[in-house]
Structure 1
């Protein structure tokens, strides 16, 4: 069995570095695209709902009804953008999408409120976007409950019965992301997703480019072993990917204000492992594809499932068990847990060892498969 020779390995590294310098478009993809995608998705991927456009039909104009509308607006969830005078006008605005919510205050609202009688208000919600609809409904219920409790306290005080004592109170404390901002959750995930996509596409072209240019035959007749060729080709891209990762990390923390609570050193070390894993996955694609177009198509065929199965968009716990198992075959699944663990929770390797082992095992597996594919092609 031939032994690993460092001289042959470094010759491949030098050759690939020269190739990267000559291939300016690929270098631009590696350095510029991650920043562009981070800004694009950083602002576009936002699950926080605010400024829901609301039309108000106030049939009982008074200080009490205006106070109710102001309570909706002061939450910064609702934005009173229109005033209507009937259901037909309100439904037309909901149909057109001009507003998402319609608040209807009945003509007897003020009178019933002054008498301490139950008063009803109506909220018409556009349910075409379930996220907006759920946010509007839950916040409206909280506002009305708060108003009802305040009115009940006033009525009890008028009757000389003292203040209303609630039988049960809930004290909440949100850990890791106290303000529950989606950007704090999304930015670490975006960093992993962007680095996977960019590095995989770059290396997916690597061996295919050798085939199309006719230089693969020259490599075949040399004494270079498959392992030396694989590692030699990904080493320069590890450096490029790490530099690109540092740029994206700097922008994510400085521009978007998402702090890294854990160890920067551990984050960088595990990011290198992830970069190696995705680069090897790209090399594997290049051993299967015959043209750069096929390599691009196969890369995108792997990117979409990784977005859906890794937990980037949807929580994995709510997925069927079989789908969760499939997600375990995606390296991004492990890296997202690592990123969010270090970014948000500040945990160390002792809490992330399962994800580290999973990603390392996947890296060794794909390396073995890629070497086997390449050796088969040589033979």
Structure 2
């Protein structure tokens, strides 16, 4: 072993790393991003769950109770509706995750203390919401001597997952995670592989336009994505009895739009990378914030506002709302159209950026 030769190889590798700007950026960027995401954006102490209020009592006492619950900051009482049916529609559309119902005979219930004074309806498909609802099982109520009494008990109604089974929430989310992980990486290396294998020269010599070349790289992977969706749905139903309460056509249409969005992102990344290794690095770099900020692993409501703004730019965030809404709550695309529209805009933006960067030249 020659120390001189060993040092020469080490110096050569360091110089090559310095010239590889993408790898150097990943060395610095991934630790920084993980530190920021886990230290700042990821928060298991859930606050500000979107909630609807149905005040059927309409008394000063009921309004006082509602104000006290809102002051706890656990629920964000964003909607005031007249009937439980209206609150249920908001739950099904995913606009709220909880609904607080104050019955018309509130005063009688408080006086007799023989029935639940309030009803808290929760989206049981989300286990974090379930746990938060259990924390809110006792609310303070103003008595003559101040805040001395508590409403006990509060009836918690668990919609969509009465058995409180974890796969009900996890399996639909895994569809989005699997599609993101595989399709972005597949297409991210598509153009790079053609360049490395010398096939790009043949494509340049053809009369293909930039749009035709871009779409030609995307379309074949659509079938792969749909096969993956079908496989997860079948296994989820057979192994974990995960229901599909909504329309199967709506589910596949939402999956199709999400698949195209991922492929568009992947083909855009392939225009940035110079090697297949760099393409895989970029795919991982985009996958990490999606799985952490989309609401798959950590509660969306527990994130700071800035982190939620970033999450709204990520396709997985919107697909999770779509797939869970259709599969678990039986919602239709007409109710979930904002998320579908967001995926469409993201797809057009990525395809436009790809075409603008794609040149039928080797340099």
**Which of the five TM-score ranges fits, normalised by the shorter chain?**
0.5 to 0.7
2:186 is aligned with 1:190: no
Shift of 1:177: 1.3
Partner Cα separation in structure 2 for residue 167 and residue 254 of structure 1: 42
Question: 2:222 touches 2:260 (CA, 8 Å); kept in 1?
Answer: yes
Indicate which of 252, 261, 266 corresponds to 2:236.
252
2:155 is aligned with 1:171: yes
Once the two structures are superposed, residues 343-364 of structure 1 have per-residue CA deviations (whole angstroms, 9 ceiling, x without a partner) of 1100001210110000110000
Partner Cα separation in structure 2 for residue 262 and residue 167 of structure 1: 36
Question: 2:254 touches 2:323 (CA, 8 Å); kept in 1?
Answer: no
The alignment partner of 2:221 has SS state of helix
2:358 is aligned with 1:351: no
Shift of 1:376: 7.9
Partner Cα separation in structure 1 for residue 312 and residue 337 of structure 2: 15
Stretches of structure 1 lacking an aligned partner (at least 5 in a row): 1-46, 48-130, 143-165
Report the counterpart of residue 265 of structure 1 in structure 2: 249
Shift of 1:297: 0.7
Once the two structures are superposed, residues 292-331 of structure 1 have per-residue CA deviations (whole angstroms, 9 ceiling, x without a partner) of 0001111001111101111111122221111111111110
Aligned residue-pair number: 221
Pair 1:258–1:371, CA change in 2 (3 A): same
Partner Cα separation in structure 1 for residue 187 and residue 154 of structure 2: 53
Shift of 1:283: 0.6
Shift of 1:365: 0.4
Report the counterpart of residue 314 of structure 1 in structure 2: 298
Between 1:353-362 and 1:313-322, the stretch displaced more is 313-322
Partner Cα separation in structure 1 for residue 361 and residue 353 of structure 2: 12
The alignment partner of 1:262 has SS state of coil
Indicate which of 290, 302, 306 corresponds to 2:286.
302
Partner Cα separation in structure 1 for residue 275 and residue 311 of structure 2: 28
Pair 1:179–1:229, CA change in 2 (3 A): same
Partner Cα separation in structure 1 for residue 222 and residue 152 of structure 2: 56
Shift of 1:172: 2.3
Question: 2:204 touches 2:360 (CA, 8 Å); kept in 1?
Answer: no
Shift of 1:181: 2.0
Give the TM-score, by structure 2 length.
0.57
Pair 1:168–1:322, CA change in 2 (3 A): closer
More strand by share: 2
Stretches of structure 2 lacking an aligned partner (at least 5 in a row): 1-43, 45-126, 138-149
Question: 2:173 touches 2:324 (CA, 8 Å); kept in 1?
Answer: yes
* TM alignment of 1:1-379, pairs within 5 A: 168-375=152-359
Partner Cα separation in structure 1 for residue 159 and residue 174 of structure 2: 21
Partner Cα separation in structure 2 for residue 168 and residue 249 of structure 1: 41
Structure possessing the higher radius of gyration over alpha carbons: 1
Pair 1:376–1:330, CA change in 2 (3 A): farther
Shift of 1:273: 0.8
Report the counterpart of residue 115 of structure 1 in structure 2: none
The alignment partner of 1:174 has SS state of strand
Question: 2:268 touches 2:350 (CA, 8 Å); kept in 1?
Answer: yes
